[in-house]
Structure 1
């Protein structure tokens, strides 16, 4: 079968590899759609803090069940499903406490282990979730929505609170959508005006803030909050300056959520500001089974049209072009999807 492989930073190839054979307790899946995650793009650029090469990317998945054993989950051949791609060890302190998303030996598909960008994959049955009739392309978007939703849940966002999301990429936009679904007043912020406008207009967010300069950012925060600062700020970029933006923009006694991933350090950070403002700072990693199940139901009920996030779709054989163009035009392209059908 064929698979997409990042051989090294900047080099993507379509390779011939052995078709996988499922083991007991696993299902054989035929890939239908896969989204290129920001971490996949980071792997392509050599900026992913966790990846090694060569690597088959991909963990935003929609697939058809080809073979599966009898099971108590109602999963059968022919069903269209999505998957939980975060493999946890089951024995570390985090896992023993049920915090499987924060496993100390976490292996995410496409990062620490081979991903799903191949014609066929195998998956443990317990990691497969019924798509409940949702279109395959929509199901490929459930995982990134889970990442965003988990971060918003970490902050316990409440109705009427003012929330700033820094980053109008897929994760940032979906975090804004999740916060809005909880009744918050949401501002989306980015340096890329085209992507910012698309997110603001497409998803009906309350406000937008173009981060064109430190002065413009400070002025915008003051105007949007009457000088109070935001109740919650969510970092969805993974850069030192955007983390600093979130610290600066949050109110005294507010909450800051860090979803973005970076290899870079933040220099000369005035950490006493956390004490001075009495901030609650949350890391947010991966997602939980409950996030997948809740969001499949939410999207099924018509709460969110996830496919609006997709700006570009490529066939599997055009994957090298997809990664190259996404890397060159990340300021304009939002969610890029690979079509394996």
Structure 2
């Protein structure tokens, strides 16, 4: 079978590998579509905090079940599914408390362990989720929607809250969609004006803010937008020290800050602002089973047109070009998917 591999930063190849053999309790899956995550792009660039080389990327995907044992979950050959790609240890304190999304020894497919970007892949049956008839291309982007949705859920957003999402990539845009679905007045910000406009116009958000690199001016824009009160909730979806600082500065006194973005750099800041504003700061890692199930139903209902997040599709053999194009044109591309 064909497999996509990142041998080192900026080197992606499509190679031949052996088709996996299914073990008892596992399903043999034929991958249909796979989304290139920001973490996959970070692996390609050499900037992702949780990856080493060589690495097979991929944890956003849809697949057809080829072989599977008899099971009480209703899965059968021919069904189209997606899956939970966060492999937890089941032993650490987090796992013991049911917080499997933030397992101390978590290994996400394509990050700390090889991912699903092969023509065939195996996974434990209990990790599968029925796609309920969603198109395979759309089902492949349920996982990034879950990342965004889980972060938004952490903040317990209420109808009427003013929310600022910093980062108009896939995760940030989908966080905006999730916050809007909870009744919030949502604004999105980025350095890329084209992405901001796309998010605002495509998903009918309240407004967009462009940060031209002058953070002081950007915060002034935020204050003007909120009648100088600050936002009730700010969500960081970039993974940059400066954008996390923006979230701290732009949030209202008594507000909430959610960190979804992943980065490698440190931030030196006046931490007394947390005390002064009495802020609630939430980290958000991965997602839970309930996030997948709720979002599959939400997209199935027609409430969210998730396909609009997909801006580019490539064939499997063009995977090296897909990564290179995404790297060079990230300001103009949202979700990039590969058709297997």
Task: Tell me if TM exceeds 0.5.
Answer: yes
Match of 1:21 in 2: 21
SS in 1 for 2:296: helix
Matching residue of 1:133: 133
| Secondary structure of residue in 1 paired with 2:205 | coil
Q: Which moved more, 1:207-216 or 1:169-178?
A: 207-216
Runs of 4+ displaced beyond 4 Å: none
- Corresponding position of 2:248: 247
Aligned to 1:189: 189
Task: Give the deviation of 1:220 after TM superposition.
Answer: 1.4
What SS does the corresponding residue of 2:76 show, helix, strand or coil?
Answer: coil
Please give the alpha-carbon distance, in whole angstroms, between the structure 1 residues aligned to 2:217 and 2:333. 24
| Residue matched to 1:2 | 2
Which residue of structure 1 aligns with residue 297 of structure 2?
297
How far, CA to CA, are the matches of 1:224 and 1:74 in structure 2?
50
Deviation at 1:223, TM superposition (A): 1.4
Structure 2 CA distance for aligned equivalents of residues 288 and 214 of structure 1: 34
Offset from partner CA, 1:189-236 (integer Å, 9 cap, x none): 000011111111011101110111224312211111000000000000
Shift of 1:52: 1.0
Give the secondary-structure state (helix, strand or coil) at the position aligned to 1:3.
strand
Match of 2:328 in 1: 328
**1:285 — aligned with what?**
285
| SS of residue in 2 equivalent to 1:331 | helix
Provide the residue aligned with 1:73 in structure 2.
Answer: 73
Kindly report which structure 2 residues correspond to 1:46-65, keeping only aligned pairs within 5 A, or say none: 46-65=46-65
Counterpart in 2 of 1:274?
274
CA apart distance, 1:90: 0.2
Q: Distance in 2 between matches of 1:14 and 1:125?
A: 27
* Deviation, structure 1 residue 43: 0.3
1:214-264 superposed Cα distances (whole Å, 9 cap, x missing partner):
243122111110000000000000000000000000000000000000011
Q: Structure 2: how far apart are the matches of 1:168 and 1:291?
A: 21
1:219 aligns with 2:220: yes
CA distance in 2, matches of 1:237, 1:59: 19
How many residues align? The count is: 339
Which residue does the alignment assign to 2:258?
257
Per the alignment, residue 177 of structure 2 pairs with 177
Secondary structure of the residue aligned to 1:245 is helix
What's the TM-score once normalised by structure 2's chain length? 0.99
Between the aligned partners of 1:284 and 1:215, the Cα distance in structure 2 is 27
1:233 aligns with 2:234: yes
Equivalent-residue separation in structure 2 for 1:265 and 1:102 (angstroms): 21
2-structure distance, mates of 1:229, 1:324: 38
**Residue in 2 that maps onto 1:200:** 200
- In 2, Cα distance between the equivalents of 1:150 and 1:200? 21
Offset at 1:129?
0.3
Pair 1:156 & 2:152 matched:
no
Please give the residue correspondences for 1:113-128 in structure 2 after superposition, counting only pairs within 5 Å: 113-128=113-128
TM (normalized to structure 1)? 0.99
